[in-house]
C-alpha cells in the first residue's frame, strides 16, 4: 500500500516537473512571493532629515580630500571609489594604506547604501556612518593620521575653516564635525536598480531573471539576504554548514573576544553586487558565480548546479546601480 | 521509464524510512554533526578578568536592592528572578513596573548567560551588561528613578558608600559604578547543563533527545540558533517566511527608524529555555511545543509533526540549567 502510494506520488511529481519546465514563469506570482522578503530601497537614509545642501557639499569635498591621510595621497574615495563606475569600492582583495607597505586586513565595503546598514564595518564596530568615518583616518594601515588633532590641523591648513563655520557655526572645525559632514554626504548615496522597479510592479524581468529570483528564494538565500538591502541587517557565521576556507580572521570575535562572535560577520547587502567584487570579507573570489556557489555550499549545505547558479547571477545583475555618481564640488 | 525510476526510488525510500525508524541513533555521529554548530559555554564571561570578589558581592547586593526603584519596591531581581529556580525571569508576558499601573513593553529576558549575548535587550540598544543595567533603573515603566542622581542618592542613603570606596576607591558611588558592580555580579551567572556534557563526550542523551537534536539540526533551526548559546549572536526578522502574529512591535526599527531593522529582534539563546517561558519578545505563548511549531512555521516555512516537535522539546530540556543560584550576601 505504501509502495503504491509513493508510486502514485511519483507520477504526480513527474507531471508537476514537466509542467513547471515547460510553463513560463509568471512575474506577478514571483513578485508576490518576493514581497514577503524584499522591499524597495527607502528614498532617504536615517539621519538625513537635518542634512543641508551646504553640509553635504562640504562632506563631498572631504570625501575626496587627500589631506586627510598622513602622506597626503589618500582620501575616502581611494578605497571606496565613486568615480569610474566602480560601485563604491576599489575592487582589490584588501587595500594598500597610505604609509608605504601597509595593507588593510579586510575587503573595503561599498559606500553606496552604507548608511542603511544596521551597523558599520564587517564586524559592526561602529554604529553609524559618522562613527565609521572616524575609523580609517586614524587607522595606521589606512589613512594613518597620528591623531584627531593632526587630522583637524591638516583640514584647517587645507583652508576649510570658513566652510565649517558656514555649516556648523563659528570655531566648528572639529574631528567630530569632519566625520559628520562626510556622513551627510554619504547619506545621499542611494542606488537605483531594475529590481526595485520590478518590486513596484514593472514587468521588466526576463525569464532567466525570474528563474534566478525564484531560485534565490526557494534555496533560502533570503534567510540572510532579505529586507530592502538583501542583507546588511544581521550578522551570520561565515561557514555555518561547512567551515569557511579562511579561518585566520575570526570576524566580530577579533573586536569583542566573546566566543559567541567567532566567525560572525555582517551579512553584506547584495545591492550593486555585480560592481563590488572581489567578494566576502577577505575578497576570496572575484567571480560572482563562484561566490554564489560558495555561499550555497558553506552556508546552506547545497550544491547548486550551473544553470541555477547562472540564473541567480542573472537575478543579481538586476541589482546593479543605474544611478551615476557625479561630483558636484571641484 | 521515468515513472518506473520514481517507483523504484519510492521503494528505496520506504525501506530507508523503516530502517531509520528501527535503527537506534548513534551518539557519536550526532555529536560530530552537533559540533559543527554548537560549542560548550565558555567558563568565564568577556570582561570578567578584572572582577574581584568584593565587586561581585557589591553587585549582588545591588541586584537585589529595592532602593533602586522609585517606590522602593522593585530590584533587578523582581523581573529577572534568580530565586525560586525561575530561570532568571518572572514568567509573565510583560512585567509590571514600580509606579502603579505601568507595564513593560517586551518580555523580560533571562539574566543567566546574558553577558555572553552579542548585544543587550531584544533590540540591541545596549552593547553590554553595564549599558543594560543603566536602562531599567531610569525607565519610567520599570524602576522609574527620575534621574541618575536620584539613583545615586538612594544608594547613598541605603548605606553603600563605604563599600563602593572599598571596591572602586574614594568618592566612587556613581551611577556608572552602580552599573559596573551589577554587571560584575551578572558575569558570574553561567548555566550548566546536560547538553554541554554531551558535547564534551558523555553519552548521556536518550534516544528521544538524540532524535530531537538531530531534528533541530536537520530542520535548520541552527541557522539562527547556533554557537555556544544556541542563539544570541545575531538579529533575525520575526516572521521571515510568514508574518509574525503581532506586528505592533516592530523590533529594532522602534529604536533606529531604519527600514532595514523592521521586525528584527535579537535571536534569543535557547540555554535554559524550559525555565524562561513565556516565549518570544511579546511573551506570545507559555508552551514550548507551541513556540517550536510557531518558529518552524513562521521562520522556516515548515510544518512540524507532533512527534518531531516533541523530540525537539525533549532536546531543549537538556539545556536546562542545573546550577542553583544561592545568594552569598544577605
Q: Which has the minimum average pLDDT: A294-298, B15-19, B138-142?
A: B15-19
Beta bridge partners of A159: none
Q: Cite the beta strand spans of A222-299 per DSSP E.
A: 235-237, 264-266
Structural domain boundaries in chain A: 26-41+192-317, 48-186
Contact state of B256 with A226 under an 8 Å Cβ cutoff? no
Q: Name the 3-class secondary structure at B285.
A: strand
Q: Which residue has the cell 512591535?
A: B249
CA A130 to chain centre: 17
Contact B10 A7 (CB under 8 A): yes
| Residues of chain A found within 8 Å of residue B218, distances taken between Cβ atoms | none
| Secondary structure of residue A17 in the 3-state scheme | helix
pLDDT in tens, A193-225: 999 999 999 999 999 999 999 999 999 999 999
Nearest to A109 by CA among A96, A119, A121: A121
- The yes-or-no verdict on residue B219 having pLDDT over 90 is yes
Q: Indicate if the pLDDT at residue A321 is higher than 90.
A: yes
Taking the CB of residue A298, how many other CB atoms lie within 10 A of it? 18
Interface contacts A/B by beta carbons within 8 Å? 108
Q: What is the pLDDT of residues A304-318, one digit of tens each?
A: 999 999 999 999 999
pLDDT for B181 beyond 60: yes
ipTM score over 0.85, yes or no: yes
Q: Is B142 a catalytic residue?
A: yes
Residue matched to cell numbers 544561592: B326
CATH code for the domain defined by B28-42+192-317: 1.10.760.10
Whether residue A249 is predicted with pLDDT greater than 60 in this model: the reply is: yes
Give me the CATH topology for the region A48-186.
Cytochrome Bc1 Complex; Chain D, domain 2 (1.10.760)
CB contact under 8 A, A237 and B252: no
Residue A230: closest C-alpha in chain B? B260
Question: Could you say which DSSP state residue B85 is in?
Answer: G
Distance from CA of A37 to the nearest CA of B (A): 7
Q: Assess contact for B62 and B71: CB atoms under 8 A.
A: no
Q: Using the Cα atoms of residue A67, residue A71, residue A73 and residue A79 in order, give the sign of their dihedral.
A: negative
CATH superfamily of A26-41+192-317: Cytochrome c-like domain (1.10.760.10)
Q: What is the mean pLDDT of residues B228-238?
A: 98
Long-range contacts of A75-81 (CB under 8 A, 24+ apart): A76/A111, A76/A133, A76/A136, A76/A182, A79/A104, A79/A108, A79/A136, A79/A142, A80/A108, A80/A109, A80/A110, A80/A111
What's chain A's Rg over C-alpha atoms?
23
Distance (Å, rounded) from C-alpha B150 to C-alpha B171?
16
Q: Could you give the CA distance from residue A104 to residue A91 in angstroms, rounded to a whole number?
A: 13
The Cα–Cα gap between B219 and B296 comes to 8
Number of residues that make up chain B: 330
Phi-psi region of A88 (alpha: psi -120 to 50; beta: other; left: phi over 0): left
List CB contacts (< 8 A) between A7 and chain B: 3, 6-7, 10
The DSSP result for B38-62, as a single string, is: --PPPSS-TTGGG--HHHHHHHHHH
State yes or no: pLDDT of A139 exceeds 60. Answer: yes
Task: Give A-chain residues touching B262 at CB under 8 angstroms.
Answer: 227
Provide the 10 A C-beta neighbour count for residue A105: 15
Amino acid at each position: 500500500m505504501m509502495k503504491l502510494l509513493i508510486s502514485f506520488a511519483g507520477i504526480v511529481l513527474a507531471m508537476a516537473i514537466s509542467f513547471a519546465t515547460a510553463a513560463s514563469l509568471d512575474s506577478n506570482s514571483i513578485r508576490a512571493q518576493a514581497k514577503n522578503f524584499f522591499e524597495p530601497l527607502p528614498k532617504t537614509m536615517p539621519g538625513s532629515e537635518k542634512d543641508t545642501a551646504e553640509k553635504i557639499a562640504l562632506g563631498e569635498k572631504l570625501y575626496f580630500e587627500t589631506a586627510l591621510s598622513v602622506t597626503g595621497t589618500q582620501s575616502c574615495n581611494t578605497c571606496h571609489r565613486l568615480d569610474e563606475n566602480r560601485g563604491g569600492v576599489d575592487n582589490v582583495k584588501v587595500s594598500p594604506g597610505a604609509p608605504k607597505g601597509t595593507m588593510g586586513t579586510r575587503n573595503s565595503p561599498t559606500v553606496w547604501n552604507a548608511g542603511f546598514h544596521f551597523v558599520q564595518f564587517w564586524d559592526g564596530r561602529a554604529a553609524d556612518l559618522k562613527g565609521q568615518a572616524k575609523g580609517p583616518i586614524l587607522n595606521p594601515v589606512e589613512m594613518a593620521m597620528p591623531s584627531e588633532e593632526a587630522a583637524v590641523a591638516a583640514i584647517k591648513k587645507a583652508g576649510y575653516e570658513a566652510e565649517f563655520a558656514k555649516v556648523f557655526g563659528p570655531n566648528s572645525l572639529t574631528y567630530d564635525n569632519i566625520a559628520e559632514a562626510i556622513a551627510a554626504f554619504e547619506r545621499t548615496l542611494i542606488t537605483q536598480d531594475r529590481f526595485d522597479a520590478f518590486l513596484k510592479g514593472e514587468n521588466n524581468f526576463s525569464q532567466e531573471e525570474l528563474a534566478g529570483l525564484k531560485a534565490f528564494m526557494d534555496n533560502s538565500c533570503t534567510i540572510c539576504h532579505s529586507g530592502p538591502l538583501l542583507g546588511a541587517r544581521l550578522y551570520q557565521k561565515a561557514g555555518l554548514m561547512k567551515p569557511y576556507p579562511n579561518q585566520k580572521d575570526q570576524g566580530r570575535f577579533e573586536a569583542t573576544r566573546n566566543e559567541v562572535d567567532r566567525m560572525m560577520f555582517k551579512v553584506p547587502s547584495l545591492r550593486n553586487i555585480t560592481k563590488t567584487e572581489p567578494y566576502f570579507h577577505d575578497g576570496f573570489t572575484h567571480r560572482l558565480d563562484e561566490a554564489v556557489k560558495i555561499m550555497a555550499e558553506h552556508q546552506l549545505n547545497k550544491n547548486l548546479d550551473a544553470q541555477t547558479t547562472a540564473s541567480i547571477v542573472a537575478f543579481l545583475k538586476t541589482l546593479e546601480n543605474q544611478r551615476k555618481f557625479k561630483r558636484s564640488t571641484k
